[in-house]
Amino acid sequence: MRPDILNPLFSEVQSLRGVGPRLNKPLERLKLHRVKDMLYHFPNSFMHRNYRETLDIGDVGQHIIIKITVINMRNGHNYRSPLRIIGEDKNGDTVSLIFFGKNAGWAKKQLPMESHRIISGKLEQYGDELQIIHPDTIFEIKADSNQSQSIADTIASHVPLIEPIYPLSEGITNGRLGVLVSEALAVRPHIEEWIEPSLLKKNNWKSWYESIENMHSEYNEHAHNRLAYDELLANQITMQLVRAEMDNRKCLPISGDDRLTKLLQLPFEMTGAQKRVIAEIEGDLEQSRPMLRLLQGDVGSGKTIVALMALLRCVESGYQGAFLAPTEILARQHFANIQQLVAPLPVNVAILTSRDKGKLREATLMGLADGSIDIIIGTHAIFQEAVTYKNLAMAIIDEQHKFGVSQRLMLTKKGRGVPHLLVMTATPIPRTLALACYGEMDVSQIDELPPGRTAIETVVMPDNRMDDIINGLERHLSAGKQAFWVCPLIEESSSGKAAAEARAEMLQKYFGKKIGIIHGRMKSQDKDKVMESFINKEILLLVATTVIEVGVDVPNASLMIVESADSFGLAQLHQLRGRVGRGSEKSVCLLIRSTILSETARARLSLMRKSNDGFEIAEEDLNLRGAGEMIGTRQSGSSPFQVASDTQVRAWLSTAADDAKLLLQRDGGLSGTRGEAARILLYLFERDAGVATLRSG
């Protein structure tokens, strides 16, 4: 049960004053569901209003507060000719105040001739004229308040000198959002401190209560660091609790006898790295403490075969193993590959995805329940409620970065005891983030590619050379070779459908029927059909969104074109690049960039050209981002954090890990005052799965 003290934070935003149905949509888009989300919706920047005694052209572009006398008014007739009030400063210099949709009647009340007013707004220049369009504040000053001190006081009581500027969405204004944040701030509770007092002191950190408010009143690095640290600490406590929990559970020890693996006829010799990793996994499997291992290996490093070896071990011991792929396409590809490899072996492999229905599905479910199926390959469907296993002893999760703690705990319900777990990823996770994403896991690395791979050449070209690009593509396709053309995701549609369709249409003019298109909004059957035509070479050019990012293997495709490459994360580009270079043919990755590039974007793309090493790319990318990082910018794709930036993760994560360890050891599972506070922290960050594993008391 969530501690009562947090209840105000978990109320819906609708409980705040003045949130009517019209705000539902914008708040939804901003993912502001609860009061707590409001508090953690930090401003992007702060607007400073500067009080000025006189008008100054040097202030153009700034928000100013100034005292004026109204000397003229011209009525507006319609939208094109707005209401225009001329004000004069104490030197007689003038500024036009422009109002759309206001009339003379309104002006007579608000800004009558010869009145003195203080106004605030953004000073702009139009021709020779200084303008303020729609001043945000207008107020009267008493005749006697000419003393600058008393003017300053009056101003301070009418208009904030610093105003937070929030990330917005259509349908909600910054002012409105600011009011909602203040309401949220007003209900926030004082909470017992969970951070070690000495750490607070050393870093000059204030309480959560104060820091949250500071974030909304003026940017404050200390406050941001403190709140980021909260998130990291919650993460590390959860990781360690889950690890401890797993260590306490029993699993089925797996000690194979090589009877199946030795029958396997591989068309190649395993690399040293593959052999080493397999040995590491086998070592884990023999224990009665469940394996919890992350296998990192660059695209094409040969993780699938490692997975198969582990699965066969499991079958040798008389148990079932499951292999989970992130997409339908990939599940089917794995199934086809593995089925072919194990054909001569007495092993029964089946596939299960949400597409399998009716009798076939029934039969598969049956086989899993009675144990006649040894290895099941599929999508998430294989872990759904209705699926029961006879004796599932191991699960392998392929390319699944979001396979979090709660999914892991769900798995524990499927096996007899906790299944051994192997998570495989080609996404090179920088060392710093690995601790956060997989801190509780052991890590194996395949740091060697199979021999004979030709390096992929990476070329960067600006998008104003489209003609050359099309010509090059033409030559490539005429030679009977295949290519990918990847379009960026567009924020709005989030499927990239529009961009890919428009591009496909344009390319169709050149290449006609040789083109296929594939994007995230398509039904999985349709996607598979297109993929099959591509594999069968009926289609030579595949226009796609990043749905092709993971796993797909088409050796004859030796050209990868990525449009708007500067809008992609480097890890993602590296993944895309890994789709080619799978055959004997020399492969090329062509990155099309915007004509105009920022310094950082330039450096990032040049890094892609220079390096083929996923880990190096990930580390460097993090460095490059760190340099230009601002509050509120998106973190790299692999970060599991909302509050903490990549830079903060690097600065504080290992401290948080040590702190979590101390806390758990000393307080024996979170009892004591600080332990109690830490529980509240976990609830605040909704690490309920972690909390659930806590021993009571």
Interaction site with ligand ADP (CB under 6 A): 268, 270-271, 274, 297, 299-305, 426, 450, 553
Instruction: Tell me how crowded residue 604 is: count the other CB atoms within 10 A of its CB.
Output: 23
Binding site partner of 326, from Mg ion, ligand ADP, none, Cβ cut-off 5-8 A by kind: none
Find the shortest distance in angstroms from Cβ 41 to Mg ion. 38
Minimum gap (Å) between residue 210 Cβ and ligand ADP:
48
Using CB under 5 A, count the residues that bind Mg ion: 1
Distance of closest approach, residue 344 Cβ to ligand ADP, in angstroms: 17
Report the partner that residue 450 touches, choosing among Mg ion, ligand ADP, none (CB closer than 5 to 8 A by kind): ligand ADP
Among candidates 298, 310, 204, which has minimal Cα distance to 264?
310
- Which of 121/551 has CB closer to Mg ion? 551
Q: Which amino acid is at 221?
A: E
* 353 touches, from ligand ADP, Mg ion, none (C-beta below 5 to 8 Å by class): none
Q: Which of residues 274 and 427 has its CB atom nearest to ligand ADP in the complex? A: 274
CB of 551 to Mg ion, least distance (A): 5
Q: C-alpha angle 593/556/580, rounded to 5°?
A: 40
CB 620 within 8 A of CB 608: no
Nearest-CB residue for ligand ADP: 302
Q: In angstroms, rounded to a whole number, what is the distance separating the alpha carbons of residues 428 and 622?
A: 12
What is the closest distance, in whole angstroms, from the C-beta atom of residue 522 to ligand ADP in the complex? 23
Cβ neighbours of residue 494 under 8 Å, at least 6 residues apart? none
CA pair distance 610, 662, nearest whole angstrom: 43
Given the structure tokens 């702060």, which residue do they identify? 46
Q: Which one, 426 or 487, has the nearer CB to ligand ADP?
A: 426
Given ligand ADP, Mg ion, none, residue 271, with its beta carbon under 5 to 8 Å by kind, binds ligand ADP
Residue type, 548: I
CB of 60 to ligand ADP, least distance (A): 55
Q: How far is the CB of 299 from Mg ion (least distance, A)?
A: 7
Nearest residue to Mg ion, scored by beta-carbon proximity: 551
- Residue 43 binds which of Mg ion, ligand ADP, none (CB < 5-8 A, kind-dependent): none
Determine contact, residues 229/647, Cβ cutoff 8 Å: no
The amino acid sitting at 216 is H
The residue behind tokens 């960026």 is 488
Query: Whole-number minimum distance, CB 450 to ligand ADP, in Å?
Result: 3
Q: How far is the CB of 367 from Mg ion (least distance, A)?
A: 25
What is the C-alpha to C-alpha distance for residues 523 and 345, in angstroms, rounded to an integer? 35
Interacting positions 515-554 with Mg ion (CB under 5 A): 551
Among Mg ion, ligand ADP, none, what does residue 636 contact (CB within 5–8 Å per kind)? none
Give the 3-state DSSP-derived string for 153-193, with helices as H, strands as E and coil as C: HHHHHHCCCEEEECCCCCCCCHHHHHHHHHHHHHHCCCCCC
Q: Which is nearer to ligand ADP, 338 or 392 (CB)?
A: 338
In this structure, what is the dihedral angle of CA atoms 346, 352, 355, 360, given to the nearest 10 degrees? Answer: 60
| DSSP code at position 1 | -
Q: Which of 553, 608, 540, 615 is nearest to 579 (CA)?
A: 553
Tell me if 542 sits within 8 A of 518, measured CB to CB. Answer: yes
- Whose Cβ is closer to ligand ADP: residue 299's or residue 539's? 299
Q: Which option in ligand ADP, Mg ion, none does residue 558 bind, with CB closer than 5 to 8 A by kind?
A: none
Look at residue 585 and give the partner it binds from ligand ADP, Mg ion, none, a contact being a CB closer than 5 to 8 Å depending on partner kind.
Answer: none
Which CB atom, from 575 or from 612, has the smaller least distance to Mg ion?
575
* 319-338 footprint of Mg ion as x/- string (CB under 5 A): --------------------
Helix (H) or strand (E) segment spanning residue 363: helix 358-370
Place of tokens 């796993």: 551
- Nearest-angstrom CA–CA distance, 184 and 15: 10
- Please, which residue, 41 or 334, has the CB nearer to Mg ion? 334
Give residues in contact with Mg ion (CB under 5 A). 551
